[in-house]
Amino acid sequence: MNNKIKKMIQRLIEILNKNSIFIGLKKGILMDTLPSNIRWFIDLPIIRIFRVIGGLSLLFMFFINNGLLAIKLPKFIFYLLTIIALLQLIQIVIISIIKFIYGINKLLRHRKDFEIRN
């Protein structure tokens, strides 16, 4: 019985490797969604630290504004967290716009990258 299961799994893997949908999904996942200079900028350690702090600030502000977290913060810290959260939100929006434009541009100008041949 164990041999039968191994053969079925091997057959399934062979079918998936030949399936153009599976190949297309694999190709799409591995494709870059950002230009290399933006990817380099995002991968800088200081920007990564800023993204973590900004994300936590964004979450913290969300919890405070919706009453999920009942903490009374000093005005200075509240305004600092608000500014950091807004900067993080702006960064997320800008990166999303760049990804969208870059993806459409890549689809239109580099069609050969998307061809899947069996």
Spans of all domains in the chain: 1-30, 32-114
- The radius of gyration of the chain's CA atoms, rounded to the nearest angstrom, is 23
By the 10 Å C-beta count (0-12 exposed, 13-18 middle, 19+ buried), 108 is classed as exposed
Given pLDDT bands bounded at 50, 70 and 90, which one contains residue 118? low
Residue 94 pLDDT:
93
* Residue type, position 106, single letter: K
DSSP string, 40-55: HHHTSHHHHHHHHHHH
Share the mean pLDDT of the chain: 80
Q: What is the pLDDT of residues 4-15, one digit of tens each?
A: 777 778 877 777
Q: What is the pLDDT of residues 43-72, one digit of tens each?
A: 899 989 988 988 888 888 878 777 776 677
